[in-house]
Structures are given as structure tokens and as C-alpha cells.
Chains A and B, each alone.
Chain A
Amino acid sequence: MNKILYILIILFGASCINQAQNLERQKVFADSLFNSENYFDAITEYKRLQFFSEASENYYEINMQIALCYKAGGKYDDAIKYFNLAKLIAKSSEESRKIELQIIRTNILRRTIPEALVLLNKLDITNTNYLDFSTISYWKGWAYLMNDDWEQASNEFEKIDKFHPLKILADGVCNKKYSVGFAKFISFVLPGSGQFYTGNYVSGVFSLGWNILWGYVTINAFMTDRALEGILVGSLLWTRFYRGNFQNAEKFAIKNNNEISNNAYEYLANKYLGEKP
């Protein structure tokens, strides 16, 4: 009888160890899915691990991993939800700061820039080795970059280093960009000049031609006492082409600026080697 008892005790102990080993294996499995960028399955396995894990000390890490998977998969709302869950059970201020920074970075990716800036301004950098002023400036700079505000971004990166690569990039974009107001203004003064300024010469020539034609017809009508005709041609044709001229200049300037920004974003996504949100 005693022998049976010993066997049972040994088996019971072994099964307890086996369960712990199973959970450990599950974690390794989930991590391998995460490392192979199979984020959908990784989330499933992390959730399974969390569901069966009785030890709540693992929850911080699991929630963090789930959040990172969601972030990598572009599910930013879910990522922020799990970052916040991880934050609730963070054991140290260091861990909390780490999560807060991840939430900010996710907000930058989600393009909720005002939210990211508010959180960056609130970030408490006292009593932590993890964060300093340059980190805050770096992510503020990124927030402005993603908000298409290259000038502010340049100012933030300058606080870190006058020759910071992202400051140089932001300055380059600022210099290349066209002034939308200026393009409109010169088109007010001389129709077609806004199009020339933005490099759309054919459109500029047409715009100038139409305005000269209808301007001539309108003025000629008034000069030869055909006031009604002058009013009609002036209000329906000349103003239509005049208004179209500066609207077009504005449109071209915005389109060119978007192209310049998109080229910079492409560089940031594919070639920039520094830390990204």
C-alpha cells in the first residue's frame, strides 16, 4: 500500500512540474511566432498562455507582447488597450514609463498626434534612467513629422543635435516645399505665375491665355458701351478663369508638397536606420 502511495505522490509532483513546463513551452512557441512576424497566431498563443497561466506575474509580459503584436499588425486601438492593461500591472516606474512611451509611439503611428503630444508633455522623466529630455524631443519630433509639420519637427530634433539626421531631413523637406500662400498670391497678381512657380508651365500658359482673352473681351465690351455684355462675360467667363487660375495654383502647390512629404515618408519607412515609432 505504501508503495502505491509513494508512486502517486511522485506522479502528482511530476504532473505539476509537467504543467509548468507546458506553459513554458507555450511561451516559447508564442515567442517564436512573434519573432517570425506571424502576429495573428502569436496573439492567439499569448492569449492562450494568459488564459491558462495561473501565475499573474506573467501577465505584464504577455499583455506587452500582445500589444506589440497588435501594433505590428496595424491594430493600434487594440495595441493601446493591451498596453494600458500591461501598465495596470507594471511592477516598477521604469516599466510604466516604457509602456507610456509605447502608447505615445502607437499614437504617432495612429496619427492621433494631439494625443501623442499631450502624453509626451505629461511624461514624468524624474526618477527614471529610461527616459531623458532627448527621448521626449525625439518622439515629439516624430509626432510633428507624422503631422506633416516639418518645421516644428526640425526644431525638436535640433534640441538633440544640430546635425541630427532627422533635422537635416526635415530642413530639406521645408526647403523643397512650395509656399501655398505665395503661389496663390502671385496668381492673383499675374494669372498663370503660380503654375509657373510650381513647375506646371503648360497649365500656366493656358491660364494666362484664357485670362488675357476674356479680360480683353470684357474690357472691349465696356469700351464700346456694351455694358450688359461686359458684365456677363466678365462675371461668367473672366472671373471663372481668374478664380480657376489661383485655385489651380493652390492645388498644384499642395499636390507638389504632398509628393515631397511622401518621398520623405518613404525614406523614413525604408531607409532610415534610427528608431521608428
Chain B
Amino acid sequence: MKRYLKVNLLILSILFSIVAISQLLAQTEKSNIFSDKNRLAFGNYLFCEHDYLRAVDEFSAVLKNSWNDTLQFKIAESYARMQQFNQAYTEFQKLEEKSALNTQGEYEKLRMLFKSENYSRLQKEVEKSKLISSNNYFHLLRLMNSSMLLSNAQLPPKSSFLYLYEEDDKSKIAEFYNWKQNPPYKSPTKAAIMSIIPGLGKIYANEIGDGITSFILTGLFTYLAVNKFEKQQQSSAWLYTAFAAFFYSGNIYGSVAAVQNYNAGIKFNFDNEIKVFINERNQFLPTPKFLCE
């Protein structure tokens, strides 16, 4: 009986020791809130709370002690979410080639170039990207083609430009393509020539009210100048001539400026529409998912 009790006590002691040691280790780990594990957990919490700047600090502190590609990716993503696209690009570049996140990192680098509106570099990087030979090459080509609509790059023939896109997107992309090939710009030279008849250049630039005003003012001052010259009232005549000349030259300059404004407005709206279209489709690239999303 005594021996039986002794054995039981020994087993209980061992079990308790195991539990106590594991608790002890856990407590020790928990008590050091600056341990890598705890900094990582805190960094993840900050990331999910959208406090990206502080999350970067925590992730960086952990990375100093041991390399982790997921953390490097999160640092880059944090910069991207803070709209610091150039810094994000640099951070995505640090992902090693052998990393499982390398492919996504390559996509993200291109996304950063698009978001920072560095379209020419984006096109060059897509052309030399090793992903172009993978099965997902169409993601890259869609993004590259779309960026061409926003840059001065020469567009490929329409059929080869459109075939990459989804059926639903094709009609809109075709619309953008046509616009890019034949933008509805107005000619400043034509406006200047039309301004020989005061106001006509402004009417051409869709500023009808200004055109009519310009016509009336220039006409009236010219009439007064002529009238004064006929009556030999030299000083008044020259004064009105100066006014007429001022309004006439203003009419030509104003017409050219109005056309330039009109064209800038058209370009701005077009670029905006394309950007909204591309961003709504996440730049045609696969997007990473995080646990807190």
C-alpha cells in the first residue's frame, strides 16, 4: 500500500513538474514584452489597426535579429498603404529570389510603379520581368498596356492590344484605345487663326459668352477709333486705338489659352477615368491577403 502511494505521488509530481515548467516558460516569454515573438504579435496588431508607421518599427526590430520574408513583405505593404510608393518599391526589392513571396513581391513592385505614375519604368520592367514567361503573364501585359494609355508610348495594333482583357472590360478598353489614338483635342493654332475675327477663337474653344463679349468690345473700340480719326480728334483716336489693339491681342492670346485649358481638361478627365478603371480592378494583378482582412 505504502509503495503504491509512493509511485502515485511520484507520477503526480512529474506531471505537476511538466505543467509547472511549461507555465514557467510561457510566463517568462510573456513577461518579456520586447522579445521578438511579442514584438511580432504587437506589430501585427498595429498593422491590423492601420497604424502602419509603428508596425514598420516593430517589424524592423524583429528583422534585425532574424530574416523573415513575410515581415519584409509586410513592411513594404505598410509603406504602400501609407502612400509612400517609392519606399515601398525599395522594400519589395529586398525580397530574395528564393522566397515564396518573390512572385507576389514582383507584382507589388509593378503596382508601386503604377501608383507612383512611373509608367515608362513600369513598361521597361514588365518587358524584362521573368514573370512574363510564366502562366500569369497576362496580368503583367494588361497592366503594361493600360499604363501605355496613360503615357506617351506607341500603342500596339488594336486587336493585339485588346485580346488580353476580359470580355467585360474589352468595350471600355476599346473606348480608351480609340480616344488615345484620336484624342478630341482642339488646335491652338486654329484658334489663333480664327481669332482674326474677334471672339471666333473663343467660340471654337467652347467659351461662347467670352467670344461674344470679345467681339463686341473689340468692335466698339475699333469703331470709336475710326470715328475719332475721321473727326480729326487725334488724342482720343489714339487712345481708342490702343484699347482696340489691347482687346484684339487679348482676344488672340485668350483664344489660344482657352484651347489649352480645354485640352488640359479633356486629358485630365481621360487620365482620371482610366486610373479609376484600372484601380477598381487592382491594377489587374493578384492582391495579397492578410489575416486581419
Which residues of A approach B to under 8 Å, CB–CB? Answer: 1-2, 4-5, 8-9, 11-12, 15-16, 18-19, 22-23, 26, 43-44, 47-48, 51-52, 228-229, 232, 236
Task: Give the residues in chain A near B13, CB-CB below 8 Å.
Answer: 1-2, 4-5
B55 CB to closest chain A CB (Å) equals 10
Q: Given A22-B32, A26-B33, A52-B38: A4 and B23 within 8 A (CB)?
A: no
**Is A48 a contact partner of B17 (Cβ separation < 8 A)?**
no
- Number of A-B pairs, beta carbon distance below 8 Å: 60
From A1, A15, A22, A236, name the one whose CB has the most chain B CB atoms within 10 angstroms: A15
Q: Given A8-B17, A9-B20: A52 and B33 within 8 A (CB)?
A: yes
**Is A22 a contact partner of B224 (Cβ separation < 8 A)?**
no
Could you list 28 A-B pairs, sorted by A, with CB under 8 Å? A1-B10, A4-B13, A4-B17, A5-B16, A8-B16, A8-B17, A8-B20, A11-B24, A12-B23, A12-B27, A15-B27, A18-B31, A19-B27, A19-B31, A22-B32, A23-B33, A44-B57, A47-B42, A47-B51, A47-B54, A48-B33, A48-B42, A51-B41, A51-B42, A52-B38, A52-B42, A229-B236, A236-B217
We find that the number of chain B residues with CB closer than 8 angstroms to chain A is 27
A38 CB to closest chain B CB (Å) equals 14
Specify the main secondary structure of chain B where it touches its partner: helix
A175 CB to closest chain B CB (Å) equals 46
In the bound assembly, the distance between CA atoms of A51 and B54 in angstroms comes to: 14
Q: Does B45 contact A (CB under 8 A)?
A: yes
**Is B54 a contact partner of A44 (Cβ separation < 8 A)?**
yes
In the bound assembly, the distance between CA atoms of A15 and B38 in angstroms comes to: 17
**Is B24 a contact partner of A8 (Cβ separation < 8 A)?**
yes
Which residues of B approach A to under 8 Å, CB–CB? Answer: 10, 13, 16-17, 20-21, 23-24, 27-28, 30-33, 38, 41-42, 45-46, 51, 54, 57, 217, 220-221, 224, 236
Chain B: which residue is nearest A4 at the CB level?
Answer: B17
Contact of B31 among A22, A44, A47 (CB under 8 A): A22
A74 CB to closest chain B CB (Å) equals 15
In the bound assembly, the distance between CA atoms of A214 and B236 in angstroms comes to: 14
**Is B54 a contact partner of A229 (Cβ separation < 8 A)?**
no
Task: Give the residues in chain A near B41, CB-CB below 8 Å.
Answer: 51
From B16, B28, B31, B46, name the one whose CB has the most chain A CB atoms within 10 angstroms: B31
In the bound assembly, the distance between CA atoms of A26 and B30 in angstroms comes to: 13
Task: Give the residues in chain A near B23, CB-CB below 8 Å.
Answer: 12
Contact of A43 among B10, B16, B27, B54 (CB under 8 A): B54
B247 CB to closest chain A CB (Å) equals 10
Besides A8-B20, A43-B54, 17 new A-B residue pairs in contact (Cβ under 8 A), listed by A number: A2-B13, A5-B17, A8-B24, A12-B20, A12-B24, A15-B24, A16-B27, A18-B27, A19-B31, A26-B33, A47-B42, A51-B41, A51-B45, A228-B224, A229-B236, A232-B224, A236-B217
Q: Given A12-B23, A52-B38: A232 and B28 within 8 A (CB)?
A: no
Task: Give the residues in chain A near B21, CB-CB below 8 Å.
Answer: 8
Task: Give the residues in chain A near B54, CB-CB below 8 Å.
Answer: 43-44, 47
Chain B: which residue is nearest A52 at the CB level?
Answer: B33
Contact of A15 among B31, B33, B51, B220 (CB under 8 A): B31
In the bound assembly, the distance between CA atoms of A205 and B107 in angstroms comes to: 67
In the bound assembly, the distance between CA atoms of A23 and B32 in angstroms comes to: 9
B44 CB to closest chain A CB (Å) equals 10
Contact of B220 among A2, A11, A47, A232 (CB under 8 A): A232
B164 CB to closest chain A CB (Å) equals 43
Task: Give the residues in chain A near B30, CB-CB below 8 Å.
Answer: 19, 52
Chain A: which residue is nearest B34 at the CB level?
Answer: A48
In the bound assembly, the distance between CA atoms of A34 and B1 in angstroms comes to: 66
In the bound assembly, the distance between CA atoms of A19 and B28 in angstroms comes to: 8
From A8, A16, A22, name the one whose CB has the most chain B CB atoms within 10 angstroms: A8
Task: Give the residues in chain B near A4, CB-CB below 8 Å.
Answer: 13, 17
In the bound assembly, the distance between CA atoms of A77 and B41 in angstroms comes to: 26
In the bound assembly, the distance between CA atoms of A229 and B28 in angstroms comes to: 96
Task: Give the residues in chain A near B33, CB-CB below 8 Å.
Answer: 22-23, 26, 48, 52
Task: Give the residues in chain B near A2, CB-CB below 8 Å.
Answer: 13
B151 CB to closest chain A CB (Å) equals 37
B89 CB to closest chain A CB (Å) equals 25
In the bound assembly, the distance between CA atoms of A246 and B27 in angstroms comes to: 77
**Is A47 a contact partner of B20 (Cβ separation < 8 A)?**
no
B53 CB to closest chain A CB (Å) equals 8
Q: Given A15-B28, A19-B31, A228-B224: A47 and B16 within 8 A (CB)?
A: no
Task: Give the residues in chain B near A16, CB-CB below 8 Å.
Answer: 27
